[in-house]
Chains A and B, each alone.
Chain A
Amino acid sequence: QQQVKQSPQSLIVQKGGISIINCAYENTAFDYFPWYQQFPGKGPALLIAIRPDVSEKKEGRFTISFNKSAKQFSLHIMDSQPGDSATYFCAASEVWGTYKYIFGTGTRLKVLA
């Protein structure tokens, strides 16, 4: 119930390609879905986030698509760049309360030059 399932575990994309990472959840009480980006040796940093009242949110090359009925959300990175190579974590939490994020298992993205 409290898990967030993330796939794929790793992803290799050519420069300029589209990177797609998927997450699924079970707990319908979750209503805040952030994506965190983590570079080696660094802590996770917020990339983009969405609430379930919208189906899509775009910030630059990064887009979250959200399907409330399927309880799935995904991160799309358009025009992927070598500098996007990092580990990406999806997460979920209930808005009312502290940030007890449930993180996915992470996707290691490598963008080839």
Chain B
Amino acid sequence: EPEVTQTPSHQVTQMGQEVILRCVPISNHLYFYWYRQILGQKVEFLVSFYNNEISEKSEIFDDQFSVERPDGSNFTLKIRSTKLEDSAMYFCASEGQGFTGELFFGEGSRLTVL
């Protein structure tokens, strides 16, 4: 069964450092998303990406965040200068063409900012 894969599974970083989280969406999917889940809290939308550009972003997705699809298979989330409050589980998700009603989530990348 095709799946969304994310790396790393866990990253620990110092405050102020840059972090890149990587995702490989399902191969024929066209829409890509990042969500995050602060420990014990709800899953929050960060950004959606289609046709090599951002479709929509939330208030959380400020100038410290960026997304890229560098090579047609990977989808990355970069946090330029991490803050303590960026500590969370970050989920990548993808969706196929058309409104299927289903987002496929990866297993997440846990980011710990010290």
Residues of A whose CB lies within 8 Å of any CB of B are: 32, 34, 36, 41-46, 49, 89, 95, 97-106
Contact = CB atoms under 8 A, between A and B. Distances in A.
B4 interface: yes
A43 B95 contact: no
B19 to A, nearest CB: 19
20 contacts: A43-B4, A43-B106, A43-B107, A43-B108, A44-B105, A46-B102, A46-B103, A49-B101, A89-B43, A95-B99, A97-B55, A97-B56, A98-B31, A99-B45, A99-B93, A99-B95, A99-B103, A103-B43, A106-B42, A106-B43
A1 to B, nearest CB: 14
B43 A44 contact: yes
A44 B45 CA distance: 13
Contacts of B99: 95
B48 A100 contact: yes
Nearest to A105: B42
Contacts of A100: 45, 48, 56, 58
Contact of B33 (A46, A99, A106): A99
Interface in B1-21: 4
Q: Is the interface of B mostly helix, strand, loop or mixed?
A: strand
Interface of B: 4, 31, 33, 35, 41-45, 48, 50, 55-56, 58, 91, 93, 95, 99, 101-103, 105-108
Given A98-B48, A99-B93, A32 B107 contact: no
B101 A46 contact: yes
